[in-house]
Amino acid sequence: MNAEAQVPQDEVVAEAEAVETAAVVVDDEDGAQAVAEVVDAETTEVVEEPVDDAADEDGDDADDDGDEEDELIEEGEIAGDYLEQLLDVLDFDGDIDLDVDGDRAIVSIDGGKDLSKLVGRRGEVLDALQELTRLAVQQATGERSRLMLDIARWRAGRRERLVGLGTEVAQRVLASGEREALEPMTPFERKIVHDAVAAVDGVVSKSEGAEPKRRVVVIKVP
């Protein structure tokens, strides 16, 4: 890794203190709001790209695809270095794995004790960490990152549950004919449910409402 691509240690320490604060307050009633404030304070320039937007245009040749993959690999390596320093500062152990899935770099932390503390209630602390990591990558590369961070397989488990939920609701709506609205979800979670519903013939899904209360609605096809 080039030296210029690494995040300064003092920035890592400062952001680690923010994450520690998030991890402490997340058990309080106002934990979700406190974590959101941490993310807002630390990542004002990082904006989540809507998952249902059209994908980036394909490159004209294989070289473009290769360049994009190389950039995602670099993102993962920068994120891995950043998170390794952050774990040291926070005094957590964990194995960091890097991967690429489509147009996202994927970074996973697993194998350590008490990693659930870095996930928090309903993933609030994990979301804060993900935004901090994206900001670290953006500071190093100058480009906005859509990197996905998972800790202790929380997102993987959440994905499995949402796929099951989407399939179950789709089959229930198909049998009853009654539309059904799910609980509010993040854009990424809604995308998972939409994909699960789309795999069931005879029903469709759409999103209704405004963030943060936007939700998936499943409807039987006439």
Which SS3 state, helix, strand or coil, does residue 196 take?
helix
The DSSP element (H or E) to which 108 belongs, if any, is strand 104-110
157-220 placed in CATH 2.40.50.140: no
Q: Per residue of the chain (222 residues), what is the pLDDT tens digit? A: 444 455 555 555 555 555 554 444 344 444 344 434 444 444 433 344 444 433 444 445 555 667 889 999 999 999 999 999 999 998 999 999 999 998 999 999 998 888 999 999 889 999 999 999 999 999 999 999 999 999 999 999 999 999 999 999 999 999 999 999 999 999 989 999 999 999 999 999 999 999 999 999 999 999
Which SS3 state, helix, strand or coil, does residue 57 take?
coil
pTM above the 0.85 mark? no
CA-based nearest residue to 79, from 156, 1, 159: 1
Q: Are 103 and 58 in contact (CB under 8 A)?
A: no
Q: Which residues contact 24 (CB under 8 A, 6 or more apart)?
A: none
State the CB neighbour count (10 A cutoff) for residue 18: 18
**Domain residue spans in the chain?**
3-152, 157-220
